[in-house]
Structure 1
Amino acid sequence: MKTKQIVLASRPNGIPTLNDFRSENIELNDLKKGEVLLKGLYYSVDPYMRGRMNEGKSYVPQFELDQPIEGGVLATVVESKSDLFKTGDTVLGALPWSEQMIASEKGLQKIESTVESLTYYLGILGMTGLTAYFGLMQIGKPKAGETVVVSGAAGAVGIVVGQLAKIQGARVIGIAGSDEKVKMLKEEFGYDEVVNYKTNTNMKSTIAKLCPNGVDVYFDNVGGSISDAVIENLNFHSRIALCGQISLYNSTEIPMGPRIQPMLLTRSVLMQGFIINNFQKDFPEGIAHLSKWVNEGKLKFTETIVEGFDQLPTALLGLFKGENNGKMIVKR
């Protein structure tokens, strides 16, 4: 059986281009015991994929040249030689960017949805929601009455972080990249105030005005000059959950910024980087809380769904231009 896949054609230098990807047709092997033939339904597109396009060791294996890009995929079982899955089951796994693929039963999760959309399992009830939950609750530890600032607030993780902070009774300030996103975050997701960093000429002063009592928790998805401005406004004993640095992912040189160690030292600030697998043993707890709040209507989500398997590279590049509201997903 033939299928189409998208592979890494070259390692990008700086911002990736469509030339760094290649579409090709391949022949699938026959099924072996313990394997399933899957048809992709929805493909998750995430900022961390940019780091995997580079050479060098990291917390997750790098993508190999001339091999398919891999990420979270919701798929349907077309044929099964597994005792765990039958034809027609919907599964979630870390799978290749391929229209159809053969996968081992190991590492696949059967999805029996109790929410309105299957895609929630790529987002708010998947790695996105869990990243927001554990980063905020385990590192940020917001208390009622505190001020939480979230950069990349209109991204998939940021939307969830803000709502979780509100559930904890915090005041929440977001940073986003358009007036449309500012309006969305305030009207739909409960942010108290939101700054458009693209039109703001003095982020440090603006953060100070919006946070008159200082910043107690900073959930950092962005890094760069935006984070410099927030860090200048940190309170004593504040906490920084270091989740992403998307403003720096395409840098070809190491940028020089303010030396933040004196600020962290003199104000007794905790800054902790994390990846979601740090909390893997606690995933059931996180999913239980997130599911409860979703079903109670306390936690909402938005997605940018791009139609067409061939649009996967374009969707990934769109993340670095801020073209997504919430989770970026490609529908086959």
Structure 2
Amino acid sequence: MWNRKKKFIPASRISEEFTRGEYEPDSLLENSFYRQMAENLKSFNVDLISDNPLETLYNHICHLDNLFRLLRNPWHVEAGEIQKACAYYVAHAKLSKQENDAFTDMVNGFVASVCYLTEWHDFICQMQQFFCHQEKELRQVFKVQKQKAVGNDKPAIEAATYCMTVGESEIYGMTYEQLEELYKAVGLFIKREKAPFDCNIKGYNRYPISIDKSVNFDVRKEVFFVDYSLDTFESSLNCMSADQLKRVADIISEFLKTYGENGDRKVYWDIADYSSVVSGREIYFRVNEDSRSTRFMTPPYVRKRIDKMEDRGVEIRYDINVNELESVSLSFEEFISLYRQLGSFLN
């Protein structure tokens, strides 16, 4: 069904061809599928130009954010059914040679596009997250500008900023409000640890899961090669033996029983059980006024990481990020120590 004049590059080889310089992405623009997409976008385009250069930048970033949201769609889902429908149409529509070539070229371009977008899905997700972050940052800038415009009659008073030292790391350019937000965020995290399965969890999309089995025979060696592949759209595992696949499934199942949000384990504890005096794990902590400014002004971000490697123990660490500056990783006792000391400073 493919046009023999076209060279179709499988999705698995796109990145390889691209890095060698043999694959020219600009050539895709010559395809009728992309030409039609460009024409369609024109009809939905908006005036992105404003008298305020900052607003113009914001409009373009919002436009790019929406574009990458569109590209994140699971294009490969049902692509096989579309190909079957196209093949049926070519077989029974009795098209002329010119119409058949044009239709085949269009289908070829569509499938190549699906493979291309799937190959670069991780990059597309990262770009969409980047533009989404920039969009939020600019909205904050607009908010600050609006506040300055309202209070323009009064002399501007610069708010004091602080540097928070945690262990060997520093997070500077923090306002007092950010310190309060961080204290609240860490407190809610500790509260969650008391009943980790009772809190509200953000839902995620459910993508189809496919598993493949491949059997190959080597005539000379007279042996069979049997391997399995698992694809969940977000990630994939390829060329595994049955034993390796079962071990992966068992380890995942065991991990989720203990640490999964739908696990069957309940945790009850009291913060007094983690007294820094008893454990001796008091983390070095200090907050002092600091005139250094930061390139980014972002809300506090707290993350818990649970790492489990086969035949090894579990490592649980806590990370804090403010203004795109990250602290050292903390154990749970150090995490509580930080919470206590930050509370003492604010009080």
TM-score bracket, normalised by the shorter chain, equals under 0.3
Q: TM-score, normalised by structure 2?
A: 0.22
Q: TM-score, normalised by structure 1?
A: 0.22
| Structure having the higher Rg | 2
Larger relative helix fraction: 2
Larger relative strand fraction: 1
